[in-house]
Amino acid sequence: MTRYRLADFDAVLAIARRGSFRAAALDVGMSTSALSSAVSKLEEQLGVRLFNRTTRSVSLTGAGQMFVDQVSPALRDIHQALDTARAEQETPSGTLRINTFATAGREILVPLVLEFLKRFPGVRIDLVTEGALTDIVADGFDFGVRSEHLVPSDMIAIPLGPARRHAVVATPAYFDTRDPPRVPSDLRAHPCIRTRLPNGALFRWPFDAEGQPVQVDVDGPITLDEASLARLAVLDGLGIGYFMEHDVRADIEAGRLVSVLEPWLPPLSPLCLYYPSRRNPPAAFKVFVDLARELARAARTR
């Protein structure tokens, strides 16, 4: 009798959902080669080809589409049954998958993710950071972390802290020979660290002038696509940078960086942990939500 593995069915659905073996491999925690081998073995067992593969694209065959349509509801029921069983665990275990963007990932890593792992060492966390918004349910994530205004309306959301802010900074030595900018347009006379967004566009620095949004196209000697690299360039005295305040707060407090244009930088919406309603979530899921609520309560009392 041929034996089939649940993980192989999950892999097929991940490939169908993502349209890519590489992206699906990340979702299911396998190497691309192992995923490809598992799917090929399943196709051999079934006696049909599930995917059309070329060097540039992956698509379902007719048989593959039929397979996915019929297997998907059954897999949802199986995973729900597994969740129900795991909900009875006394000791949380398993893996929680979280989707967020890089800046938010840095903000939640220590107070939420690492604190959780210290309390519950039997649980693993798979934290994925990406610039584009994603459907956390369709892409197989337990949680998402985004700015409050970006949380889908059908999700349960837990604010993780107070309003956030941007910061415009440079080193004290940089301002020894230059006048600090007084208004955003003054930035055009300064070398700035430019940032490229995930979609390839250059980031225009946003400000607020008495309730009216203002964006400045800055210029400078280098363009980077990661805040940690931009911070190093600013600390080296190359010019002025624009960051989430969380990323440079310690540098400002230590005197390594000087903050300017603060009146032009209004508060931003707080970060939220969000997730879909689940009837019988696993024990690990429940205690992670509990810790997020604990973090939210602590933030309100500061």
Distance CA 95, CA 99 (A): 13
Please say if the pLDDT value at position 141 is more than 80.
yes
For residue 252, give the nearest of 164, 166, 192 by alpha carbon: 166
Q: Which fold has domain 6-79?
A: Arc Repressor Mutant, subunit A (1.10.10)
Looking at the chain, the domain(s) classified CATH 3.40.190.10 span: 94-162+269-301
pLDDT of residue 158: 94
Instruction: Read off the pLDDT of each residue in 237-245 and give the average, rounded to a whole number.
Output: 96
Q: Which CATH class is domain 94-162+269-301?
A: alpha beta
Looking at the chain, the domain(s) classified CATH 3.40.190.290 span: 166-264
Please say if the pLDDT value at position 206 is more than 90.
yes
- Three-state DSSP class for 226? coil
Q: How far is CA 103 from CA 37, 51, 76, 146, 169, in A?
A: 35, 36, 32, 10, 17
Question: Residue 302: pLDDT band by 50, 70, 90 thresholds?
Answer: low
pTM higher than 0.85 for the full model? no
pLDDT of residue 97: 94
Question: What is the per-residue pLDDT across 74-115, written as a single tens digit (0 to 9) for each?
Answer: 888 887 777 777 666 667 888 999 999 988 999 999 999 999
Distance CA 275, CA 142 (A): 7
User: What tokens were used for 125?
Assistant: 């966390």
Question: Residue 245: pLDDT band by 50, 70, 90 thresholds?
Answer: very high
pLDDT of residue 89: 62
CATH placement of domain 166-264: 3.40.190.290
Instruction: Read off the pLDDT of each residue in 285-300 and give the average, rounded to a whole number.
Output: 89
